[in-house]
């Protein structure tokens, strides 16, 4: 009997070790562009692949849902981000009017703006499109090589929501950026999980991305 219990314990230990050593899912191909215009690093993305077909049923249940989007400028070799952009969309389906209502917040409109979408297709088109997001001055990139990492999650845990709201409110200090990055890396994921996209490495020279 003792040997049996030892065998079970050893098996459990091996499974735990294997789970701990399992690599994180590789980021998806970057669905957009990174460029420099007017001395600013700008990013445009089509995030449609981050939203599975099952999302429609989830968003139409009459509860308020949150879609969180984060863009980070990170050194190619890793470390804390140089700059981050956060976007939060609160989505509520009006079961009586059969339409979606959304409140969108980002650094340009931290107080939020309210939008109405007549159907899921219109909402999905809005959620998917990010155009010309200004991440930082291109001069701040110096001679290093960088990547842009995009992360999309539906109904993240409260820690992610809180850190996102701090970021949107104008917190660009290195300490806050590190805190947000740590939360994105370590906070538990609910539902179908977060989708991550990573650009090819680049450098900003002579007013262009190379």
Question: For 4-55, how does the pLDDT look when each residue is reduced to its tens digit (9 = 90+)?
Answer: 444 333 333 333 333 343 445 678 889 999 999 999 999 999 999 999 989 9
The predicted structure's pLDDT at residue 25: 60
Residue that wins the pLDDT comparison between 207 and 149:
149
Please check whether residue 5 lies inside any domain of the structure. Answer: no
Per residue in 70-113, pLDDT tens? Answer: 999 999 988 889 999 999 999 999 999 999 999 999 988 999 99
Please check whether residue 132 lies inside any domain of the structure. Answer: yes
Return the percentage of the chain with pLDDT > 70, whole number.
Answer: 85
Please check whether residue 72 lies inside any domain of the structure. Answer: yes
Instruction: Supply the pTM of this predicted model.
Output: 0.83
pLDDT at residue 143 tops 50: yes
Q: Total structural domains in the chain?
A: 1
Please check whether residue 25 lies inside any domain of the structure. Answer: no
Residue that wins the pLDDT comparison between 177 and 127:
127
The predicted structure's pLDDT at residue 210: 86
List the one residue out of 150, 145, 134, 155 whose CA is nearest residue 198: 150
The predicted structure's pLDDT at residue 189: 67
Range of the domain at 111: 30-205
Please check whether residue 43 lies inside any domain of the structure. Answer: yes
Please check whether residue 4 lies inside any domain of the structure. Answer: no
Please check whether residue 44 lies inside any domain of the structure. Answer: yes
* Mean pLDDT across 155-172: 88
The predicted structure's pLDDT at residue 178: 86
Please check whether residue 166 lies inside any domain of the structure. Answer: yes
């Amino acid at each position: 009997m003792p040997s049996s219990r030892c065998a079970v314990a050893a098996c459990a230990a091996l499974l735990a070790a294997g789970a701990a050593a399992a690599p994180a899912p590789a980021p998806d191909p970057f669905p957009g562009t990174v460029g420099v215009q007017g001395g600013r690093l700008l990013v445009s993305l089509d995030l449609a692949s981050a939203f599975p077909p099952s999302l429609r049923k989830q968003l139409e249940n009459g509860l308020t849902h949150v879609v969180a989007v984060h863009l980070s400028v990170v050194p190619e070799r890793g470390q804390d981000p140089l700059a981050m952009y956060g976007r939060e969309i609160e989505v509520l389906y009006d079961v009586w009017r059969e339409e979606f209502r959304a409140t969108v917040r980002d650094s340009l409109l931290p107080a939020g703006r309210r939008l109405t979408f007549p159907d899921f297709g219109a909402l999905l088109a809005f959620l998917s499109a990010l155009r010309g997001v200004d991440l930082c001055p291109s001069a701040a990139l110096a001679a290093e090589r960088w990547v842009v990492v995009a992360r999309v999650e539906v109904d993240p845990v409260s820690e992610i929501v809180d850190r996102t709201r701090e970021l949107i409110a104008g917190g660009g200090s290195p300490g806050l950026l590190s805190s947000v990055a740590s939360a994105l890396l370590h906070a538990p994921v609910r539902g179908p999980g977060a989708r991550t996209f990573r650009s090819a490495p680049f450098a900003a020279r002579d007013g262009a991305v190379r």
